[in-house]
Amino acid sequence: MVTSQPRSAAAREAILAAAAIEFDEHGYAGTSIASIAARAGTVKGHVQYHFRTKSTIATELIQASFAQGAFLAPGPEIVPRGIAAILANTRGVAQQFQSDVRARATVRLLAEKSRIDGDLPTPYVGWMGNVEVMLEEAKQDGDVRADIDSRECAWLMVAAFFGALSVSQTLGTLDRFPHRVERLVRMLLASMAKPDNLS
């Protein structure tokens, strides 16, 4: 079989696009090579010619998302620092999840990480590290208290972000997700900015 490289790349791309929709809707365990083929308007053998297994497809989608800097969302403009960076980051990633099926598929696949046979990045921790750096900048800027535990607060902010995403998906209210997650992040930042009278 003779396959020109450009044509082969386009075929792989079409399969990845179909797979992202399937993974986003049904998760890893709920998707099959057959359902990906059906979504791509082709047959199982065609998919298997380009990707040996379902794990190979999932791994390629996830690695591409991380390579493209998804979940870092620096944006085209110059990235601000501290609290402004956290808010810009939140907005950028929220909009990405709303509009980009591959970003949503990646998050869902990473929750099923243990089932996928491939070399996958650990989710959340890279983003938590970035938020930790921004919180340290916010300390220097006097926007959050000097005594907050940046690492722990970054963990909580990222977890809250993904909770809002997951609940929005389950309840079918993804349209309100960017608004809600920004509010959540602002509430958490507000609690770090002032003396805590609850503990």
> What does the binding site for a second copy look like in residue numbers (CB under 8 A)?
26-27, 29-30, 83, 110-113, 115, 122-125, 152, 155-156, 158-168, 170-171, 180, 183-184, 186-194, 196-199
Instruction: Report, in Å, the least distance between residue 2 CB and a second copy.
Output: 38
Instruction: Report, in Å, the least distance between residue 57 CB and a second copy.
Output: 16
Instruction: Report, in Å, the least distance between residue 186 CB and a second copy.
Output: 5
Instruction: Report, in Å, the least distance between residue 75 CB and a second copy.
Output: 20
List the Cα angle 112/113/114 in 5-degree steps.
Answer: 95
**Cβ distance to a second copy smaller for residue 74 or 163:** 163
**Cβ distance to a second copy smaller for residue 67 or 198:** 198
Residues 15/50, Cβ–Cβ less than 8 Å? yes
Report the C-alpha gap between 48 and 41 in whole angstroms.
14
Cα 142 from chain centroid (whole Å)? 30
Cα 178 from chain centroid (whole Å)? 14
**Cβ distance to a second copy smaller for residue 11 or 193:** 193
Sign of CA dihedral 145, 70, 96, 19: negative
**Cβ distance to a second copy smaller for residue 9 or 125:** 125
Sign of CA dihedral 27, 31, 35, 41: positive
